Amino acid sequence: MTIIHNRPLDDIAETAPTIAGNAFTRAFSGGSLWRLIGMLLLILILGFLTIYPLAMLLYGSLHSTPPGMAGEFNLNGYRSIMTTQNLIVLANTIGISLAKTIPSLTIAVFLAWIVARTDTPFRGTLEVLITLPFFIPPILTAMAWGMLANPQVGVINMVWRWATGATDPLVNIYSYGGVIWHMCQYSIPFLFLFMVDAFRAMDPSLEESSRMCGASRWTTFRKITLLLMLPVLTSSFMLSFIKGIETFESALFFGLPAGIKVITTDIYESINHRATPDYQYATSLSFAIMGLMFLLVIWQWWMLRGKSFQTVTGKGFRPSVMELGPWRWVTFAFCVLFFFITVVLPIGQLMLGSFFRFFGFYTYDMLTLEHYRAVFANSEFWRAVRNTMVLGLLGATATMALGAIVAYISVRTRWRGRNLIDSMAWLPWMMPGMVLGVGFLWAFAMLPGPIPIYGTIWALLLAYIALGTPVSVRVMTGAYHQLSYDLEECSRVHGATWAQTMWRIMVALAWPAFAVGWVLTFFGIMRELSASILLYSVGSETLAVVLMKLWANGNAEQVSVIGLMMMLLVIVFRWVQLSFIKSRISKL
């Protein structure tokens, strides 16, 4: 972008009194003063959202008492995390994440290949079904699986006992296997979404020329396809691994009852489950995990350096589709099975749970609607719905607006400071929701009295914006990269100012991406639990928090009702999003 004018404002008026244009357009096309103010404002906002909680985290880890109390600086926090017990926690965290990443990646590659490169029937529908689990809040499936695979009263084990006469349960969700199993259900659709376009966009002539050189299909797959996909596979692996370390729900629901601890649940426990919350321990651990994440991100960057995604050019050709013959019904069945296990089973369980008086006792005379009545009569539920909606709408809009601005400045201008804001916006990428939650906990408590954010819904909003910003910047960066500079410059040459060009060309062309990102962010907010559970207080609960509380009270039946409502919401939103994307594609 070269539409940069570094002259001071008054310069134009002085040398060219005849040139028209009002102060506003002049300011935004040429004024470095306004630009400076804008950039400073942006840096301030991003600083508050990312640097400030980070700094507070560091402060908290070095300070002996909770915010607002007299204390001293010491290294006790870091000393207290250096225990052999925590080594096990660390090993658990890394081990579980690896153990879920490898099978997830394998299955996701297989699914992506089925959908993108074979003639499996109904691939379009299958793609929608396969990706659906990703959009379901993990807390819902966690609760559903808690009921499905409960060693005593879980449906699966009950059916097993009934069918075989055995007395031992078939599966026990409260185990390492259970934690990994639950994480896989999210990793697979996530990785699938991440990779499927790369599979689709691969230039088939690269493979065909290998076949012409005499290589068999299998050799071609190994030597050409896989190697071409290597950059995508590597970054998928790293992403999934990092996400695995950040995961909270799976370990909370299935790990803690079995005594399996990971870092996120350890932080949570040290604040919520001890007689007196050990903030210094929690912040020190948070800071340590951020260090770990930082190393991982550096490693990821190092592994991917110089590797390009050249194969993903994706225009003008159709990838060659492999004809599977009768096997295509096997691949079809595989996809359907995946959908059945990850979506139908949990939904079925929630329905089952919502209509019977007591969870686990499924007989005809136990059928009831009382849980629905109880939920709908519960004012706390409605408040949570309202909170979640308000937070979702406001949060998604604010996050995407921030992302759109940051991405525009870092991609399409050469303004000074653009790298700074880009890195600041990227910072939360390294912070698991739990860690950011702890950071904001301190950050809000340390704010001067007249700014009462702590304990309000705004605390959650700010945390959500911070958590969502890296993704929103990504989405908008991708969108801007696809718009050629010509489109923008052409508008300038034909008389539009910078502001007019922004509005009529850039916004008009980028808003579909904005909308897609908005829905993603909205889903992200609806499912968020780890930061919410630290930052909520009475009156500002979200649906996920209410679910969590009901679950803790053993009220699995009402959990099922609320879970079903949320599920419905997810499916409606997803349907709107998909039909929206479709209409956009057919229009362009």
Partner 1 sequence: MASVTLENVSRMYGAVTAVDNVNLKIKSGEFVTLLGPSGCGKTTTLRMVAGLEKNTGGRIAIGDNVVSDSDKGYFVPSERRRLGMVFQSYAIWPHMTVFDNVAYPLRIRRRPDTEVRDRVMNALRLVEMEQYAERPSPALSGGQQQRVAIARALVFEPEVLLLDEPLSNLDARLRTQMGDDFRALQQRLKITALYVTHDQAEAMALSDRVVVMHGGKILQVGAPEEIYRRPENRQVAAFFGTPNLLNATVKDCRPNGGQYFKLSVEGQGWSGDCHAATEMPKGADVTVMVRPENLHVRDAGQVNGDLSWSGEVSQAIFRGSHRSIMVKTPAQTLHVEASSLSNVDIGRPVTVAAPVEAAWAVRN
Residue (124 or 495) nearer to partner 1, CB: 495
Q: What is the size of the binding site for partner 1 (CB under 8 A)?
A: 32
Residue (377 or 588) nearer to partner 1, CB: 588
Segment contacting partner 1 (CB under 8 A): 13-21, 258-266, 456-464, 467-475? 13-21
| Euclidean distance between CA atoms 229 and 226, whole angstroms | 5
Buried b (16+ CB within 10 A) or exposed e, 169-194: bbbbbbbeebbbbbbbbbbbbbbbbb
User: How distant is the alpha carbon of residue 334 from its chain centre?
Assistant: 26
Q: Give helix then strand counts, H and E, for the chain.
A: 29, 0
Residues from 431 through 450 that contact partner 1 (CB under 8 A)? none
Q: Quick check: 479 binds partner 1 (CB under 8 A)?
A: no
C-alpha torsion 462→465→470→471, nearest 10: 160
Q: Quickly tell me which residue has 């008009």 as its tokens.
A: 508
Check: CB of residue 101 under 8 Å from CB of residue 244. Answer: yes
User: At residue 145, what are phi and psi to the nearest 5 degrees?
Assistant: -70, -30
3-state secondary structure of 63: strand
Residue (318 or 587) nearer to partner 1, CB: 587
The pair of structure tokens assigned to 470 is 């890296």
Residue (451 or 493) nearer to partner 1, CB: 493
Q: Quickly tell me which residue has 């390294």 as its tokens.
A: 430
Cβ neighbors of 581 (< 8 A, separation 6 or more) are: 512, 516
Q: Choose which of 141, 497, 521, 555 interacts with partner 1 (CB under 8 A).
A: 497
Segment contacting partner 1 (CB under 8 A): 12-20, 103-111, 230-238, 534-542? 12-20
Task: State the minimum distance, in angstroms, from the CB of residue 337 to partner 1.
Answer: 40
| Euclidean distance between CA atoms 199 and 208, whole angstroms | 15
Helix 123-135 / helix 327-339 crossing angle, nearest 10 deg: 20
Residues from 409 through 428 that contact partner 1 (CB under 8 A)? none
Task: State the minimum distance, in angstroms, from the CB of residue 505 to partner 1.
Answer: 6
Cβ neighbors of 588 (< 8 A, separation 6 or more) are: none
Task: State the minimum distance, in angstroms, from the CB of residue 305 to partner 1.
Answer: 24
- Cα distances (Å, whole numbers) of residue 548 to 15, 249, 291, 462, 536: 67, 10, 29, 21, 12
Task: State the minimum distance, in angstroms, from the CB of residue 42 to partner 1.
Answer: 23
Segment contacting partner 1 (CB under 8 A): 9-17, 68-76, 202-210, 457-465? 9-17
Quick note: the x/- pattern for partner 1 over 18-47, rule CB under 8 A, is: -xxx-------xx-----------------
Q: Quick check: 2 binds partner 1 (CB under 8 A)?
A: yes
Q: Choose which of 11, 168, 208, 370 interacts with partner 1 (CB under 8 A).
A: 11
Residue (163 or 493) nearer to partner 1, CB: 493
Task: State the minimum distance, in angstroms, from the CB of residue 11 to partner 1.
Answer: 7
Neighbours of 149 (CB within 10 A): 25
Q: Choose which of 200, 328, 492, 549 interacts with partner 1 (CB under 8 A).
A: 492
Residue (321 or 487) nearer to partner 1, CB: 487
Residue (377 or 493) nearer to partner 1, CB: 493
Task: State the minimum distance, in angstroms, from the CB of residue 488 to partner 1.
Answer: 8
Check: CB of residue 312 under 8 Å from CB of residue 198. Answer: yes
| Euclidean distance between CA atoms 114 and 338, whole angstroms | 13
Instruction: Supply angle C-alpha 459, 463, 464, rounded to 5.
Output: 115
Residues from 528 through 587 that contact partner 1 (CB under 8 A)? 587
Residue (320 or 500) nearer to partner 1, CB: 500
Q: Quick check: 357 binds partner 1 (CB under 8 A)?
A: no
Pick from 290, 308, 521, 485: nearest CA to 404: 521
Task: State the minimum distance, in angstroms, from the CB of residue 473 to partner 1.
Answer: 23
Q: Quick check: 493 binds partner 1 (CB under 8 A)?
A: yes
Task: State the minimum distance, in angstroms, from the CB of residue 29 to partner 1.
Answer: 5
With residues binned 3-state (H G I as helix, E B as strand, rest as coil), the percentages for the chain, rounded to 5, are 75, 0, 25
Beta bridge mates, 456: none
Pick from 573, 479, 585, 466: nearest CA to 526: 573
Residues from 499 through 518 that contact partner 1 (CB under 8 A)? 500, 504-505, 508-509
Q: Quick check: 315 binds partner 1 (CB under 8 A)?
A: no
Task: State the minimum distance, in angstroms, from the CB of residue 486 to partner 1.
Answer: 4
Q: Which positions lie near partner 1, rule CB under 8 A?
A: 2-5, 7, 11, 15-16, 19-21, 29-30, 484, 486-487, 489-497, 500, 504-505, 508-509, 587-588
